[in-house]
Amino acid sequence: MQVGDRNEIVKEVSKEFSAKEFGSGSVDVLATPAMIAFMEEAALKLVDSQLDEDRATVGSLVNVKHLAPTPVGDKVKVNAVLKEVDGKRLVFEVTAHDSNNKIGEGEHERFIINLSKFMNKLS
């Protein structure tokens, strides 16, 4: 993985991703937590497939602005660009667009972990 690597995913805004259903608002538009989850997914899919079997990444920071509402039924295109690699720390620039507008932008950070050691800490 290298700085500049990018990934794009497209998600349909179904009712389950609405603020009303998600519990983060009372309107049938894309919930902010759902948009953030889409951004994390784009970053995750960019790097996890490149890691050894006993490695994974975990999210550690999200700093995102939700810029515009997206109605249920629209599609959202989400991009993650790897902008910094600092040892096990990975920093991504994330953006989201619906069919009309840029709806979100920000930064997401993930850390590469040893999966066995990480899971053993939970026991």
Residues assigned a catalytic role: 32, 40, 66
**Cβ contact 31:22 at 8 Å:** yes
For residue 6, say whether it is annotated as part of any ligand binding site: no
**56 CB neighbour count, 10 Å cutoff:** 18
How many CA atoms does the CB half-sphere of 37 hold within 13 Å?
11
DSSP-derived 3-state class of residue 6 = strand
For residue 25, say whether it is annotated as part of any ligand binding site: no
Known binding-site positions:
59, 110
Known binding-site positions for CoA:
59
